[in-house]
């Protein structure tokens, strides 16, 4: 996979319409703690007062996606899950606490994000931080044989410029998927309701409003990359590799 040409400052335009590295500073991080209501529980989440990649915020799709997962829990049971754009880690923490899902968080290659997710794990009773991968979309993925059969994300389509890099990363994770399934795991997987979610698959909730043209750029880009997009309802989408022979 080719290396992405990307820096946080490239996401923002200066007054002349051009991005400048000087716009992003290395000022010390400030935090604020907020309580958020998830289905059946309240989480105390430490958020960045500001973060150039919006890793400081919980977006509407996080809560909507959590509700959808509660209703379709059987589709995710037994899966090895990787979350893209984990931000504060709130969704992953909710899923681990509620259902003991096998979940790994990931976000932009940034030490502050990783440390904050670990902090939030501990603050909400998860003694050992969830596994975390620092990865910039479009860069070579640090694990050459990804074993996650389900990738999830909520509200990650904010930066249109990064759609090609996101699609590169998704294509790699879905096509390079290497099953690591024990006999016990195989029995568990056979018993779950997998009719909605193929293996592997990308499950995404999108609630933030952007222009239809921008939104279609992502879905059309997925299709051009040989991925199949299915709308499951409630603005939840399942994306998987097209089977051989599909047009």
Please name each of the domains of the chain with its CATH number: 32-241 (3.40.50.150)
State how far Cα 80 lies from the chain centre. Answer: 14
Q: Where do the H-state alpha helices sit in the chain?
A: 60-71, 73-76, 90-99, 111-123, 163-175, 183-191, 212-224
What gap in Å lies between CA 72 and CA 69, rounded to an integer? Answer: 5
From the CB of residue 135, how many other CB atoms can be counted at a distance below 10 Å? 19
Beta-carbon contacts of 195 under 8 Å, excluding residues fewer than 6 positions away, are none
CA distances in angstroms from 52 to 23, 26, 210, listed in the order given: 10, 10, 19
Quick check: 31 and 44 in contact, CB under 8 A? no
What gap in Å lies between CA 63 and CA 48, rounded to an integer? Answer: 19
Q: For the chain, report the end-to-end CA distance as a whole number of angstroms.
A: 24
pLDDT for 152: 98
Nearest to 51, CA basis, from 92, 94, 130, 107: 107
Give the model confidence (pLDDT) of 49-92 as tens digits.
765 655 567 888 899 999 999 999 999 999 999 999 999 999 99
- Coil, helix or strand at residue 35: strand
Reported pTM: 0.83
pLDDT exceeds 60 at position 5: no
pLDDT for 165: 97
What gap in Å lies between CA 170 and CA 226, rounded to an integer? Answer: 11
What gap in Å lies between CA 45 and CA 124, rounded to an integer? Answer: 8
State how far Cα 47 lies from the chain centre. Answer: 17
Concatenating the DSSP letter of every residue in 189-211 gives HHHS--SSS-SSEEEEE--S---
Strand arrangement, sheet containing 102-107: 132-134, 102-107, 80-83, 150-154, 201-205, 236-241, 227-233
Q: What's the whole-number mean pLDDT along residues 142-160?
A: 94
Nearest to 15, CA basis, from 7, 23, 27, 6: 23
pLDDT for 14: 37
Give the model confidence (pLDDT) of 180-220 as tens digits.
765 445 445 444 444 569 999 999 998 866 777 888 999 99
State how far Cα 45 lies from the chain centre. Answer: 18
Torsion, Cα of 159, 161, 162, 163 (10° steps): 90
């Amino acid at each position: 996979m080719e290396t992405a040409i990307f820096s946080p400052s490239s996401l923002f335009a200066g007054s002349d319409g051009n991005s400048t590295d000087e716009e992003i500073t290395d000022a010390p991080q400030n935090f604020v703690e907020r309580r958020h209501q998830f289905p059946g529980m309240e989480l105390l989440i430490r958020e960045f007062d500001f973060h150039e990649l919006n890793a400081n915020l919980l977006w509407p799709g996080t809560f909507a996606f959590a509700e959808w997962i509660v209703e379709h829990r059987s589709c995710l049971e037994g899966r090895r899950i990787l979350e893209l754009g984990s931000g504060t880690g709130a969704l992953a923490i909710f899923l681990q606490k509620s259902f003991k899902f096998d979940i790994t968080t990931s976000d932009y290659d940034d030490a502050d994000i990783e440390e904050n997710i670990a902090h939030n794990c501990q603050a909400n009773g998860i003694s050992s931080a969830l596994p975390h991968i620092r990865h910039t979309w479009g860069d070579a993925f640090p694990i050459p044989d990804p074993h996650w059969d389900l990738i999830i994300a909520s509200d990650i389509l904010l930066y249109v410029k990064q759609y090609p890099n996101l699609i590169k990363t998704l294509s790699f994770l879905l096509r390079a998927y290497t099953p690591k399934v024990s006999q016990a795991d195989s029995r568990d997987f056979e018993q779950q309701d997998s009719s909605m979610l193929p293996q592997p698959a990308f499950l995404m909730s999108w609630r933030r409003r952007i222009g239809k043209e921008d939104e279609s750029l992502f879905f059309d880009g997925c299709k051009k990359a040989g991925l199949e997009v299915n709308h499951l309802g409630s603005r939840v989408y399942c994306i998987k590799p097209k089977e051989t022979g599909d047009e």
